Structures are given as structure tokens and as C-alpha cells.
Structure 1
């Protein structure tokens, strides 16, 4: 016996058949929503970076996030380097308020490579939500250093202490302008009114040197006679030997002082800071070393 469906059952069956004929399963779920585009804009300055393999001359990259949405939010920007690139941070996290006009939030990142890195192209991938931004990074050859070059430029620095507002490498970065003092360039020790202090630079290899140029703080607002370095010794060391004093400076009131001495073989140079003109800190804007 064939059982004939009732009117209600037949209506349901017809509806299911109709949906199937239209290409839509009767039990289909609503389509998934498309991924929401991030409301945070990411950019870098510069857009392309050049670096060299000097320990105290890293590439400087500034990361910026801007919340363009209508709601405040917290954002994590992840940094993924390729090859030999070494970053001072691998994440930039910040609260991004929703404001009008949109307000940028920025953070610096230092990019380094080992000294023996071959020249070539690499990249840093920035990831936030579903967005990606690739920053090209070019590794350039090491700059040549002949006897007329500043042998301390970009080489590894060391110090007895460093003030929290300064960078250890600030006095070997090639910037001797006192107007860029404080967070931009230069070195300041971290022990107020306590002397002596030391600032060292390790040369790339043992070299015959005969001249050291020291720039201390000296600007219209902060003259050397008031806040600059007053007394110091220039010392050198070779291998495992001890430090040898090759020049002395006393009662200085100038911003830039050149000390010359008989040629000596050295792989490290030290400024032994004995006194400042205000008896508070040892301040060096730039330390330069030259070969004979």
C-alpha cells in the first residue's frame, strides 16, 4: 500500500525540493561573515632601511600605529625578521584611543647584523590582525677605515655606567653636535657627583694610533665651561695588557679637544673621566680615534 502524505507533510517536501532545485540545501547554514579589515594603520620611517655590520651603528626604524576606527582598542604589532637581522624588539604593543583627528603612536626599533654578514637584501614582516607589511632591509658592506678614518665610529663601546636617558653607543655614532645632546646622541654616566668614570671603545683590530679627539657637551644653552668634561686621561690597551695613559687633559673649558701622542699599538681606547666642570656628571658627545 502506498501511503499518501498529508497536506502539511507535502508542503514541507515541496519546499525542500524547491530549495534543492535552486541550489540551496534545505539545511544550509548562513554564509560566514568576511574577515573584518583592521582599523589600525601601520607604517614605518623610513620605508626602506640600510644597515651595516657595526655593533654601535644600528639601523634606526620607527614604527607607527594609527587607530582609524570609532572604538578605542589595544593592538599588538609583531615583527618577524629574516636572515641575519637582529631587532631590539619583536613586538610593539599599545593602547590606541579612538580620537578625532586620529593620533599616531610610535616606537623605535634598532636593527643590527653581525660584522661578517654578507651584503644582501632581507626584510622585516610586520603583522597586526590580518594585515601584513614588509619592510625591505639592505645590508651594505662595512665602511672602509684607512688611517685617515675615525677608527672608533660604530665600534663596540663600554662604560662604567650609563644614565637612563642615554645610549651606551651615543658617543661613537658619528654625531658630535652638542645640540643633539640627551636622548639623540652622546653619553652621560649614571653616578652623580662620583668620579672617576670610564668610557671605552674596542677597535676592530689592533692598530697603530696617535690621535684621540673628544667632544664634550658645549652648546649655547650648556657651555663646556659650565657642564663639560674638565679633567681626563686618554688611555690605551693592547691584548691582555693593562691600561697605559698616553695623554692628559686638565682644566678644560673647550667643547672639542685633540690629544696627540707617539704612535702606539692598541685594540682599545679609554677616556678616564676625572672631573666635570659642574662636578656632577661625565659627559661625552663623541669620541674619535685616528691612526698614525
Structure 2
């Protein structure tokens, strides 16, 4: 290969002179232009999303294999696990799929990845194309939607219980409902009613929920039954438009730039301009090499698609192979050529800059003035073994980047090739050269002999180092703060270097709050350390706010939940519990009885049919002053308190080690019961249920206790 600086030709030693002369004489077969001075904005790495891709427990692959890729979105929900999901196995079939969803979410949504997670509801249902037969139950069979609604209640309650915040999680209603009889073997009208009911139910349970759909196998407006324009007409008419428009692109020869333009036109025509786009499975099976993958990534960036997720064409769905970016041999995982293509894409920092594609080659480029580096990653749509000839990369705006890129009068230029290999230790350095720029333009000519390869051109500094440490997470993730009550928050810090690091934390808290923490924390080599911060609320303002921990150039924002309800910080226990209910649901701050699901999801349901008394307790580490208790029993539209709520109960407190009855309620038919009494200092509060209106179980939604 050869480089050009101004009018001079710089030959690569590995290229025969005859080849260089031929390339110079014939001219390039394709040209890509990059303008280092035309800034597009900060990189989002939107193309790096994974379908499943991790082990069932979420532990593998390691941070060393995931972190350099800067993944933005993970998609799945326990697909193909034994038990058949909700449809075939009820809650028992659903539980292992939910456990996998929760475990992977907890891995990817915290530091160092801080990615989002898209829950594929059809996977939790069991409809991933493997577990169910067409004769198994699907939502709405026989006109009965009760099982679909119970399922959605369970999922939303589990999302809430796992502290999955709305900005971290997405709900995908159904995967590929248009794919023959594989994923939804029912009439289209039944699918559309499932969609409408699903969206309305999820939004009723969680108004901040983000819903993804329709996830068709393709984006089409041709004369077919599953047209995107007609689907959008349906959701607009029913008030059930998604928050994110999604489809798959698995058909060879399609271009995401054209698809995104069509999608935005369809949205604008229906008053939905600005809706994010998600191509949540790509590319086609014939494009699984670094050359084509990188071209598609460049097209996604050009299309300004907000989310994109790789498809799986191999082992699914608990294999930690990152959708084919890793090669697995036994328990070992190896980087392959595609992994390196995505790593170099993720190594673009600073700001994205303008590019102009060639006929078959496109690129993603960035200019980082702070680091003194420009990086361009190039791919091609051929994606096979053919010879593309000489491809020219023309770099404009060199003069504007002179101060950042030029050292001692020269620009360091490195060209790397990423071949399509199952095991690749690192990209091949094709050429490295120090150039003396004398013009505003620099040409880099690449002899692209194998279209399955991608190329990387880096100017200036060559490193692509990630931060040596990160703030992983905080426990609790969203602390509840009572007035004057010191509340510890434990931050986890991780060191990726081979030496211990001593770090100095900086805390930012809003007015009306104080924070105390050690002046420094030492994190062991290749290990974790905990930093305990004590927050105290001194204000009466109950507006939700946030605190921020800053360590060097790393930071983590923690939402703060001010409250006057002392039960929010108590430890909960019960005499017995019917799964999936939990006494922990009684101090989560959610008093909505409509979240009640089968078996008590969303609240607490005891496990002793017809046997009373039942009890729940809230225990504090020290006495707290209370004079008012509010009990929320089941009282939804489907389950009114007069038929399903608790009827008779006592409010008991432990004061100075002795139980004291504070209030007695008899003959109750209301959903919310408040009892007032003289102020006591109690370290335990008990609700002792003596009878229910259903004469079988005790059913509670929330317990609250206040000082005044």
C-alpha cells in the first residue's frame, strides 16, 4: 500500500514497486472522503448492541472482552430455557427466564458498561420458536386476555422489584410476529389486539415505560399484510404507538440509510417525528465478516439510527459469544476479526466528523483534539474475498487539526488491516509512517485485496486506552432518605490495572443534604473496593433529586428518594409467603393495587389458606418515632377490598422491648385504612391479620408509618 502527503507518494515496503506504480497510474477504484473539521457530535456507538450474547448467569464474557466494545443495548429474556416460559409452564416456566433476564441486566446496566436492556416479552412467554407448539396458549386465544394481562403484571412487578429504571429498560411486545407461523401462529387481528392491550396495560402499570415495536422481520410498505405504514395507522388510531420503532434487517442488499429515511417519513406523516429507531437484528447471514460488518456500522451511523443489535447465526441463547464476535473452544473465548472491528469502532473518541462514502466503501471517523488523535474505520459492502483494488481515503481539514495531530512537524499515520479470522490477537499493522503535512488534504491509498477485511487509519496518538478504573454501581441504587436519618450508600470501584490505585472521591449533593465519606480509597490491583458514603437529609422538601460521586474522570449519579414513611427503610418479614408475592413489596413505595398479579405479585399474600392470624413486620435498627400507620390492602377493579381485602387486624409496635397494641380494625371493607395514636418510639411494627373478607388469605399492597 502507499500513502500520499501533498503530491509525494510514500511507498509501503511490503508492496512491490510495480503494484504501487500500477495503482498510481490507474487511480483508485473507490474513494472515501473525511472532513476532520466538520463535527457531527459525540459518538454514541449506537451500532453495538447484542441479542443474548452472554452466559445464562451474565458473568461471561469478562469485562476484558466486553468493556472495549462500549455496548449500548442488550436484548433478550431467557430465550429457549427449559420450562416453556409463561405459556407452557406458568410462573414456574417463567421464573428461570426472568432470573436470566435479571442477572444479565444487573451485569450490563451497571458500571463499567452502563448499557440499556430490551426485554423481549415473547421470550418470557415462551414464543422464541423452540419451546411452544402452535397448539400451546397464545395471548387472546378464545377471546380470553386474562392470562396475557396477568403475565404483563408479573413482568412489570419484577422489573420494578429488580430496580430496573425506565431509562435502563425497554419492553419489546413481540419478536417477529410476521414470520410465518413460527413466533405468533395466530391471525393478524389477534396480534394487533394483543399489541393494543399490551401497550395499554404496561403504561397503566408504569407510565414511564418505554415500549419497542413492532419488530417485524423487515420494514416494508409494499402490498403485503404486514406493512409498516398500515401498522402505524393502527397504533396511531388506537393511541398505542411505541416509544421506539423497531424492525429487523436480515435480507441481503438492503441499506439502513434508505430504511431509516423511509421510517422517518412514515413517522412524520403520522405526527410521530422524532421517535427513536431500532434495527434490533442485523446483518444478513452473508455479511458476517469485518469488511461488511464495518460497512453496515458506517451506514447505521450515517442513518443516525439510535439503536442497533446484532443477530445470532450460531449457538443460542446462553453462549457467551457476543453474537459471533467471539470464538468459543471449550470454556475459552477468543477475539475474532469482527470483535476487533467493533473494538476499533468503539475506540473512536472526541467527536464524529463528516464522511462521504465511495461506491462500495464507507467509513466512521472521529477527531479527538484532547487526545491528539483522528481515527477512521472503513468497511465495504462486498464483504467477500474479492479484490477491491486500491481504495483512497482522502482526509480534508488537516490544517484545522494541525495543532492536535502534528508533533515536531510530523503526523504519525498508522494503517491496520482487520482480516476475517476466527482467532485474531490484534489487527495487522500494514504501514506506519511519519508524514510532514504541507497542505490541508492528506491521501491514504489502501490496496484492499480481500473485501472481507476492514481497515483502520489512525492519525496522531495511537493508543486506544480505556479508563483504568470505573465506578461499577451503588447499593442501594436509589436510596430512600428520611429526615435526619444517616443513610449509607456503598459504591463499588473496580481497578483494571496491575497496580493498586489510591483514588480521591468528590461528592456532589443538592441543597438540603449532607454527605460524608473517606478522603481517599485504595482499590487493589485488578480488583474491587467499596466506598461507603453517608447521606443525610436535612430538608423537608420531598422533591426527588440526585447525588453524584466523581472519581477522576469517572462519575455515577444516584437518584435520591426523600420520604416521610419510616417503613421504606425497614427490614420486612412475614409469617408465610405465597410466591411470587413478597413482604418486600410492602415497603417499595408503590401503593397501586392494580399492580396485583397472580399469586400476589406486586404485594404480599400469605401461604396458609384459611388459617389465621397472619402477620408482617417492619423492623428498624434503632427506635423510630411514629404516630400514624396506613395499611393498603388489595382493592383493585378486579379484586375489590370488600371481597378480597383484610377485614380484621391489629397494629402492634415493640416499644422498649415490649409489644404494644396501638390500634384495632374490625369489619373493614376499604382499601386504605389509617390509624392514629399517641407517638411511640418503636423498633418493630407488626400488622397482625385476624381475618380477611375472602376468608382464605391475607392480601396487602403497602404499609406506611409516619411521625406526624
TM range (shorter): 0.5 to 0.7
Quote how far apart the aligned CAs of 1:139 are: 3.7
Tell me which residue corresponds to 1:14: none
Quote how far apart the aligned CAs of 1:42 are: 2.0
Quote how far apart the aligned CAs of 1:68 are: 1.4
Q: For residues 219-258 of structure 1, what are the structure 2 equivalents within 5 Å?
A: 219-239=636-656, 241-258=657-674
Tell me which residue corresponds to 1:132: none
Q: Pick from 580, 603, 606 the counterpart of residue 186 of structure 1.
A: 603
The answer to whether the 8 A contact 1:60-1:111 is kept is no
Q: Deviations over 1:19-43 (max 9, x none)?
A: xxx89xxxxxxxxxxxxx9774725
Summarize the Cα distance change of 1:272–1:111 in structure 2 as closer, same or farther, 3 Å threshold: same
Q: Could you tell me how far apart the structure 1 residues matched to 2:641 and 2:664 are?
A: 18
Tell me which residue corresponds to 1:213: 630
Summarize the Cα distance change of 1:67–1:161 in structure 2 as closer, same or farther, 3 Å threshold: farther
Quote how far apart the aligned CAs of 1:210 are: 1.1
The answer to whether the 8 A contact 2:474-2:558 is kept is no
The answer to whether the 8 A contact 2:473-2:556 is kept is no
Tell me which residue corresponds to 1:116: 488
Q: Could you tell me how far apart the structure 2 residues matched to 1:57 and 1:202 are?
A: 20
The answer to whether the 8 A contact 1:160-1:189 is kept is yes
Tell me which residue corresponds to 2:74: 42
The answer to whether the 8 A contact 2:569-2:620 is kept is no
Q: Could you tell me how far apart the structure 2 residues matched to 1:179 and 1:144 are?
A: 24
Q: Deviations over 1:246-272 (max 9, x none)?
A: 100011000011111122111111100
TM-score, structure 1 as length reference = 0.59
Tell me which residue corresponds to 2:552: none
Quote how far apart the aligned CAs of 1:233 are: 0.2
Q: Deviations over 1:154-200 (max 9, x none)?
A: 42111111111112210111111110113652111122211111111
Larger radius of gyration: 1
Quote how far apart the aligned CAs of 1:112 are: 8.3
Tell me which residue corresponds to 1:68: 311
Q: Pick from 53, 56, 59 the counterpart of residue 163 of structure 2.
A: 59
Q: Could you tell me how far apart the structure 1 residues matched to 2:315 and 2:618 are?
A: 46
TM-score, structure 2 as length reference = 0.26
Quote how far apart the aligned CAs of 1:57 are: 8.1
Q: Could you tell me how far apart the structure 2 residues matched to 1:77 and 1:152 are?
A: 41
RMSD: 4.0
Q: Deviations over 1:206-242 (max 9, x none)?
A: 1221110001000111000100001100000135x23
Query: SS of the counterpart of 2:642?
Result: helix
Q: Could you tell me how far apart the structure 2 residues matched to 1:38 and 1:291 are?
A: 49
The answer to whether the 8 A contact 2:641-2:670 is kept is yes
* Larger CA deviation: 190-199 vs 251-260: 190-199
The reply to whether residue 285 of structure 1 matches residue 317 of structure 2 is: no
Higher share in helix: 2
| Highest RCO, 1 vs 2 (Cα 8 Å, sep ≥ 6) | 1
Q: For residues 93-112 of structure 1, what are the structure 2 equivalents within 5 Å?
A: none
Tell me which residue corresponds to 2:557: 138
